[in-house]
Structure 1
Amino acid sequence: MTVLDGKYVEVDPGVEIFVQDVGSGDPIVFIPGFTFTTEVFIHQVEHFSKTNRVIVIDPRSHGRSSITLQGNDYVTHGTDLAKVIDTLQLKNVTLAGWSFGCLTVWEYLKQNDYDNVKSLIFIDMSPKALSTNHEEDWVEGTIGDIGAIYNTYLRNPAGQREFIQAYTTSVMVQREVTEDELNWLVEQSLKTPYYIATNLFASGMFSDYREEARIASETVPTLTIVADHWAATAIEFTQKISPKSSIEVLGGHLMFWEHSEKFNKLVEQFLSVDT
């Protein structure tokens, strides 16, 4: 069923994933992060659809996909991604995950073989988000900080809104965002209800895909793009966990939106070498 510029793929009875599917050529699949939607990849859809088939999904309980109380974890999201790829009959796929969307990609790889995967792009996410050794490991924050987000902010819509606003202005974007831009970004996140966001947050923080990250970098061409603010730690950790991955540094957590031209060029260069 076609709606606007997208379509829906049923992944479970009564659960549909909204998919943007634009252009033709070798497919690139973009998966957004925690509570975000297809909309954040607007500049990538516009650019890469000129040369590639570009697929962007709203994960389960995100954006225009079904809001469901079941399966709000990255194990299920990996299974959902496989069903989307199979339904669209995609071959030789480049998978590009952003933030917690990387967890979806690693889980997909854990559940499936690499026969259908051409290359991988991981955008600013550690394969192990939480660690007691937060001074050396690439983590999202201290256990205390993560616990405070879970127990204080993600308990109601106002708290979720406050958290996303603060995260956007302090981590995601380097420049000062306009009020309209901030409202738009927060609006994307709030399409996922807070009581589902808590499940996703916990699932992401307790994930450990270090082994999948290692295998991925040894199996197919892999690019890891990290933000400036934790580049030194992220680079050292990535070189240790997945040493064969190419590594680039750019902007903040939402660098592909803020610095879209530079980001798209990095991806173009990676794909041209991979071809």
Structure 2
Amino acid sequence: MTVSEGKYVEVDPGVELYVQDVGSGEPIVFIPGFTFTTEVFTHQVEHFSKTNRVIVIDPRSHGRSSITLQGNDYVTHGTDLAKVLDILQLKNVTLAGWSFGCLTIWEYLKQHGYDNVNSLIFIDMSPKALSTNGVEDWVEGPLDDIGAIYNTYLRDPAGQREFIKAYTTSVMVQRDVMEEELNWLVEQSLKTPHYIAANLFASGMFSDYREQAREASETVPTLTIVANHWADKAIAFTQKISPQSSIEVLGGHLMFWEHSKEFNKFVNQFLEG
């Protein structure tokens, strides 16, 4: 049975999430990161839908989902994920989160446990993003740097645009990005208004899912894929926090888009056990 490609799932009264739903077989659910959309997983949908049922979610206030002033935090995103899995009757899923999408998965696990989870893939996100103790662990940055981003760049659309452009060219993609590609990536982010992006940014940076990361690696097969630019710290931190997780290193933060064949190969090997 082939599953239809696009649909909307109501997770709260008046709040619908856009869900891309393609292929048949064991389900893999992809969740994009901060302000990004289903579109970034095009290469994964094309590849894995040949063998699996592939679901990609636009989280609330992202992409084609409803823009809402309520629930723009990763606790609510975890609840939304549970509702999507229930409504689509997805069983024994592989959950794959990129960046802040990992926070959605850890929150889902915190709320609902592992009864419906077959395996987990975490793409380039520390379970504790903010450095608060001066220790150089795998983090996005210290409080002063993160606060400066929040107060400088996420105050208006122009600032959000500037932030995403800079992050794309310095962290997300390793090669020179063509102007058309850069504009497209920025356009995906700006589907989330700046005032909601600011809320999501704060929610993500103040999250701490180290306990869920440890528990996940001990409960189901888990794969962590990290970018080259911070691989040493990310590997050491992952081995300390979630030592049972498999670890791969590839590209920049958007490695599954830039290096899709290598990324898909890692995931295939993981799924095949």
TM bucket by the smaller chain?
A: over 0.9
In 2, the alpha carbon distance for the partners of 1:113 and 1:211 equals: 13
Seq. identity, %: 86
Aligned 8 A contact 1:134 1:141 in 2: no
CA distance in 1 between partners of 2:225 and 2:38 (Å)? 19
Instruction: Give the match's secondary structure for 1:28.
Output: strand
Provide runs of 4+ in structure 1 moved above 4 Å: none
Change (3 A) 1:271 1:81: same
d(CA) in 2 for partners of 1:254 and 1:103?
17
| TM-score (norm: length of structure 2) | 0.98
1:26–1:134 CA distance, 2 compared to 1 (3 A): farther
Q: Which residue of structure 2 aligns with residue 107 of structure 1?
A: 107
Amino acid across the alignment from 1:115: D
Aligned partner of 1:145 in structure 2 is 145
Pair 168,235 (structure 1): closer, same or farther in 2 beyond 3 Å: same
- Distance in 2 (CA, whole Å) between partners of 1:117 and 1:16 is 24
C-alpha distance in 2 between matches for 1:135 and 1:170? 23
Alignment of 1:207 with 2:207, yes or no, is yes
Q: Is 1:51 aligned to 2:51, yes or no? A: yes
Residue 179 of structure 1: aligned partner: 179
For the residue of structure 1 that corresponds to 2:119, the secondary structure is strand
Quote the Cα distance in structure 2 between the aligned partners of 1:254 and 1:49: 20
Corresponding residue number in structure 2 for 1:24: 24
Q: Aligned runs of 1:227-242 on 2, under 5 Å?
A: 227-242=227-242
Counterpart of 1:197 in structure 2 is 197
Q: What runs of 5+ residues in structure 2 fail to find an aligned partner?
A: none
Instruction: Give the drift of 1:137.
Output: 1.1
Matches within 5 A, 1:1-275: 5-133=5-133, 135-273=135-273
* One-letter amino acid of the structure 2 residue matched with residue 26 of structure 1: E
Letter in 2 for 1:221: P
DSSP-derived class of the 2:257 partner: helix
The SS at the match of 1:151 is helix
- 1:135, CA displacement in angstroms? 4.8
Inter-partner Cα distance in structure 1 for 2:93 and 2:227: 25
**Counterpart amino acid of 2:256?**
F
3-state DSSP class of the match of 1:41? Answer: helix
| RMSD of aligned residue pairs (Cα, Å) | 0.9
Count, aligned residues:
270
